[in-house]
Homo-oligomer: A and B are copies of this chain.
Amino acid sequence: MTSHSRVRVRYAETDQMGVVYHANYLVWMEIARVDYCRAIGLNYARMEAEDGVVIAVVDVKCRYLCPARFDDEVEIETCVLEVHSRMVHFGYEMRRMPDLKPLARGETKHMFLDRVTLLPTRLPAGHRPLFGLLK
């Protein structure tokens, strides 16, 4: 299972080097992750509001291959590299469209946390099959 997301580079995302500021790729990975969750049937906003569970980033990596520029259209391909009831690990490929030029590759690891206490919890049982987990 992979999902595909699109963003168009905002002027606000550029810096004085004339390219996208590097921290913004993390924002794109998040957009892609929310889309991935939506694609498997998990509404992120609802999980936060109704189940009281947030998905906190605990680790992030990004390798920058080619700078993205203002008004570029970027495709982000997202997959799950590993998942447990307490943790999920995503991988991302970012490419410029339409020439498919690789822009960046990233990974993020996440823990499920209780929204109020911010202490570790488990992915709500009802949502586990969405990630292919048996229980």
Chain A residues with CB under 8 Å of chain B are 10-12, 14-19, 21-24, 26-27, 30-31, 34, 44-45, 48, 54, 56-64, 67, 69-71, 115, 118
Contacts and interface: CB of A to CB of B under 8 A. Distances in A.
Nearest to A56: B17
Contact of A34 (B11, B45, B57, B67): B11
Contacts of A48: 16, 70
A100 to B, nearest CB: 20
A22 B26 CA distance: 8
Contacts of A19: 16, 118
B64 A61 contact: no
Identical copies in the complex:
4
23 contacts: A10-B27, A11-B15, A11-B34, A12-B21, A16-B16, A16-B17, A16-B70, A17-B54, A17-B56, A17-B118, A19-B118, A22-B26, A23-B27, A26-B26, A34-B71, A44-B71, A56-B64, A58-B64, A59-B61, A59-B64, A60-B61, A60-B62, A67-B118
Nearest to A58: B64
A12 B71 CA distance: 18
Most chain B CB within 10 A, of A31, A59, A60, A62, is at: A60
Contact of A60 (B22, B58, B67, B118): B22
